[in-house]
Amino acid sequence: MELSDVREQTLEMLKAHSNRSKARLSSLMNLPIEHAAQGAEITDEKGQVYVDFGGFGVFILGHCHPQVISAVKAQVDCMPMSSRTLVNPVLARVSKKLVDICPDSLEYVFFTNSGAESTELALKLARANGCDHIIAVTGSYHGKSLGALSVTHRDEFRAPFMPLFNNVEFVERDNLDALQAAFECCEGKVAFIAEPVQGEGGVYTLSYEFLHKAKALCSQSQGLFICDEIQSGLARTGSMWAIDKFGITPDVMLVGKGLSGGVVPCAAVVATEAAFAPLNQDFMLHSSTFGGSPVALAAAEATIDVLIQDEVAARVQMLSEQIVSTLSQIIDKYNQTHQAHISIRAQGLLIGIDVQTPARAGQLTLSLLNQRVLTSHSLSNASTVRLTPSAYLSEKHLAHLYDAFACALEKI
pLDDT per residue over 386-398, tens digit each? 999 999 999 999 9
Do 167 and 251 belong to one domain?
Answer: yes
- Is 12 domain-assigned? no
Distance CA 342, CA 224 (A): 38
Q: Tens of pLDDT along 234-243?
A: 999 999 999 9
Domain identity same for 41 and 188: no
In a domain, 349, yes or no: yes
175 with 218, same domain? Answer: yes
- Residue 206 carries which DSSP code? P
Instruction: Give the pLDDT confidence score for residue 281 in this predicted structure.
Output: 97
Considering the domain architecture, whether residues 98 and 224 belong to the same structural domain is answered as yes
- Other C-beta atoms closer than 10 Å to the C-beta of 353 total 28
Average pLDDT over residues 346-368: 97
Q: Please indicate, yes or no, if residue 5 is contained in any of the structural domains.
A: no
- Same domain for 193 and 217: yes
Let me know whether 84 and 214 are in one domain.
yes
For residues 333 and 383, state if they share a domain: yes
In a domain, 50, yes or no: yes
Q: Which long-range contacts (CB under 8 A, 24 or more apart) does 127-132 make?
A: 128/278, 128/279, 128/285, 129/189, 129/191, 129/223, 129/224, 129/275, 129/277, 129/278, 130/188, 130/189, 131/188, 131/189, 131/190, 131/191, 131/223, 131/224, 132/167, 132/186, 132/187, 132/188, 132/189
Question: In whole angstroms, what is the distance from residue 411 CA to residue 334 CA?
Answer: 11
- Whether the pLDDT of residue 187 is over 70: the answer is yes
Q: What is the mean pLDDT of residues 331-340?
A: 96
Give the model's pLDDT for residue 145.
97
Instruction: With a cut of 80, say whether residue 2 has pLDDT above it.
Output: no
Instruction: Give the CATH number of the domain where residue 344 resides.
Output: 3.90.1150.10
**Whole-number pLDDT of residue 24:** 93
Residue 5 binned pLDDT confidence (cut-offs 50, 70, 90): confident
pLDDT the model gives residue 44: 96
Beta bridge partners of 50: 42
Please say if the pLDDT value at position 180 is more than 80: yes
Beta strands in 184-292 (DSSP E): 189-194, 197-198, 204-205, 224-228, 252-255, 267-271
Q: Is residue 356 part of a domain?
A: yes
Question: Which pLDDT score, from 0 to 100, does residue 1 have?
Answer: 58
Of the candidates 309, 343, 372, which is a domain's last residue? Answer: 309
pTM over cut 0.85:
yes
Query: Is residue 169 over pLDDT 70?
Result: yes
Q: Are 106 and 272 in contact (CB under 8 A)?
A: yes
Least confident of 3-7, 67-71, 168-172: 3-7
Q: How confident is the model at residue 6 (pLDDT cuts 50, 70, 90)?
A: confident
Task: Look at the chain and report how many structural domains it folds into.
Answer: 2
Q: Which amino acid is at 238?
A: G
Q: What is the CATH number of the domain that holds 281?
A: 3.40.640.10
What is the pLDDT confidence band of residue 162, given thresholds at 50, 70 and 90? very high
Same-domain pairing of 56 and 160: no
Q: What whole-number percentage of the chain has pLDDT above 90?
A: 96
User: What average pLDDT does the segment 34-46 reach?
Assistant: 97
pLDDT at residue 280 greater than cutoff 70:
yes
Question: If you count them, how many residues does the chain have?
Answer: 412
Q: Tell me, yes or no, whether 353 and 375 share the same domain.
A: yes
Per-residue pLDDT of 364-377, as tens digits, reads: 999 999 999 999 99
**Which residues form the domain of 383?**
32-64+311-410
Q: What is the mean pLDDT of the chain?
A: 97
22-47 mean pLDDT: 94
- Asked whether the predicted pLDDT for residue 4 surpasses 80, the reply is no
- Percent of the chain having pLDDT more than 70? 99
Position 7 scores a pLDDT of 86
pLDDT value at position 239? 98
Confidence band for 265, pLDDT divided at 50, 70 and 90:
very high
